[in-house]
Structure 1
Amino acid sequence: VSFGSWIGMQLLMRRPEIEGFISIAPPANRFDFSFLAPCPSSGLFVHGDKDRVAPLKEVLALIEKLKTQKGILIEHAVIPEANHFFEDCIDDLQTVVGAYLDKRLGMPRHAPPPARKERAKPAAPQVGNG
């Protein structure tokens, strides 16, 4: 989120095995994202419409620049009423990110998580009177 999204995008440029990204509240007005030319993979930008730290206008300019690259799909989600830290909007943020991950990973939407097999717990050691 925020500064972390800028750092994450730098990592994306240095690691060719990364196949996608999710950038939340990127501070395009405060940090230089020009290193993303060209952006090596598709991804999602998520932003709150009440974000005053990183105004939507600046983020949209970055997204539009990245969308011009062939073979790269840049998606953008705006969460209504969300500020820079998504206060009172975390559930909406989780829903948007979860749906995107389901789509990218080829999972059915709202699929239940895979069942985990329970391991047998080791028996508690017996303390004897001896």
Structure 2
Amino acid sequence: MPEVIFNGPEGRLEGRYHHGPTDNAPLALILHPDPNRGGTMNNKVAYNLYHLFVRRGFSVLRFNFRGVGRSQGSYDQGQGELSDAASALDWMQTINPNASACWIAGFSFGAWIGMQLLMRRPEINGFISIAPPASQHDFSFLAPCPSSGLIIHGDRDTLVPEAAVAKLAAKLASQKNIAVDYSVIEGANHFFAEHMEILTGRIDAYLDQALADDLSPAAAG
């Protein structure tokens, strides 16, 4: 899990990077929760997402948004952080020119940034969106959502009501040519404090199916 420093729009960005075992290993970019509320790349959800993709043979990067840890710059209400995420993806693609696929996974604020990046980068094949702040930020830019993915939320989330996320998921799932799975974890709060094993299990099960579908003859042909 080597430390890396790469150039962002406002200076250096700090990250942790794992290089996949094959030349064409798929990519996964992990985005952490709100820096204004103490979010960093070492958040437990972001950390577990990182290792989940590492175990699957991906090249994986998690990094600190501007102004967090050793990353330069200052908080920019999401606009600058979206540029940071784009720079992080650029950096990964530069050292993985033969990557077979690209996934993005974000938690809370990071899910909001990740879904915006999804709209801008057609090479992203799939997404994992954990506790997206649908009651706090506008997600209407997902019109239409360009890729299939998974949305997970806790039914005891007091920061983002589950109903708001269910509405977002239903809207996306109604679109043609993509599949958006929505999974609710009973008893989980916004931070999944006592439900981390269930959370990672749900994501693993989803990726088992999604990646198998990608490799199927129907998908290839």
Please state which band the TM-score falls in when normalised by the shorter chain: 0.7 to 0.9
> What does 1:1-130 correspond to in 2, within 5 Å?
1-106=107-212
Q: Residues of 2 paired with 1:67 and 1:89: CA distance?
A: 25
Aligned AA (2:175):
Q
List runs of 5+ in structure 1 lacking aligned partners: 108-130
Q: Residues of 2 paired with 1:67 and 1:80: CA distance?
A: 21
User: Which structure is higher in strand share?
Assistant: 2
Under a length normalisation based on structure 2, what TM-score does the superposition of the two structures give? 0.47
Q: Deviations over 1:65-111 (max 9, x none)?
A: 1122111111011111100000110000010011111111119xxxx
Extract structure 1 runs of 4+ deviating beyond 6 A.
Answer: none
Q: Residues of 2 paired with 1:69 and 1:76: CA distance?
A: 14
Aligned AA (1:28):
A
What is the deviation of 1:26? 0.4
Q: Residues of 2 paired with 1:105 and 1:63: CA distance?
A: 21
List runs of 5+ in structure 2 lacking aligned partners: 1-106, 214-221
Report the aligned-residue RMSD. 1.1
Q: Percent identity?
A: 59
Corresponding residue pairs, total: 107
Larger Rg: 1
Under a length normalisation based on structure 1, what TM-score does the superposition of the two structures give? 0.80
